[in-house]
């Protein structure tokens, strides 16, 4: 049994956006202020808001579409670890963009999605709060990166070492069912 087509598309779309936003974030923050820097910051924020929105959609989809059960060949503790890891991943997919959004407000620059849709400033401009949220944003990102690496390695381990079909559930196959 595979994930639904919608779940698969959303998963890889979010993965792709994260793989763009993460290195972009690392690169851009070292730059001296320039028009390019301002553009890159905006693109980074737009991607972040998109990840946030898609992640909310994914959570909504997940609550209405049970993911396929894990095969019984996987031990109970591994099933439990996998469940916790996935909850954490979802939590970070929300927390990382939210921390960036708040940081942006604290630093005095509102987030305007694609330069068109303004997100409200939930915190006032405040230098020390801005620095704190920068640390929070970085910390959450390092946690996310770590979990993504574990997530990826676990998938590869199941595919190449255990030889089970877990990883292929997140790819399209001829046997895709429903939506």
Residue ranges in 72-176 assigned as alpha helix (H): 76-106, 127-157
What is residue 169's DSSP assignment? G
Binding footprint of other proteins, residue count (CB under 8 A): 19
CB of 98 to other proteins, least distance (A): 18
Q: Is 92 exposed, middle or buried (0-12, 13-18, 19+ CB in 10 A)?
A: buried
Could you tell me the sign of the dihedral formed by the alpha carbons of 135, 152, 57, 69, in that order? negative
Print the binding letters for residues 15-34 with other proteins: x by CB under 8 A, - otherwise.
------------------xx
Only segment of 52-60, 68-76, 102-110, 156-164 that touches other proteins (CB under 8 A): 102-110
> What is the end-to-end Cα distance of the chain in Å, rounded?
13
Residue from the set 9, 57, 98, 109 that interacts with other proteins by CB under 8 A: 109
Q: Which of residues 122-161 bind other proteins (CB under 8 A)?
A: 125, 127
Which positions touch other proteins (CB under 8 A)?
33-35, 38-39, 41-42, 107-112, 114-116, 118, 125, 127
């Amino acid at each position: 049994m595979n994930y639904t087509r919608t779940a698969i598309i959303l998963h890889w779309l979010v993965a792709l956006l994260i793989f763009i936003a993460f290195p972009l974030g690392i690169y851009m923050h070292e730059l001296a202020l320039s028009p390019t820097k301002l553009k890159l910051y905006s693109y980074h924020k737009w991607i972040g808001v998109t990840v946030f929105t898609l992640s909310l959609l994914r959570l909504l989809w997940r609550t209405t579409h049970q993911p396929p059960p894990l095969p019984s060949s996987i031990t109970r503790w591994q099933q439990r670890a996998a469940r916790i890891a996935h909850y954490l991943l979802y939590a970070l997919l929300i927390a990382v963009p939210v921390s960036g959004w708040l940081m942006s407000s604290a630093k005095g620059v509102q987030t305007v999605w694609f330069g068109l849709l303004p997100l409200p400033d939930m915190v006032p401009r405040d230098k020390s709060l801005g620095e704190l949220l920068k640390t929070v944003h970085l910390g959450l990102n390092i946690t996310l990166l770590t979990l993504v690496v574990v997530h990826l390695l676990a998938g590869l381990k199941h595919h190449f070492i255990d030889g089970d079909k877990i990883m292929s559930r997140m790819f399209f196959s001829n046997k895709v069912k429903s939506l």
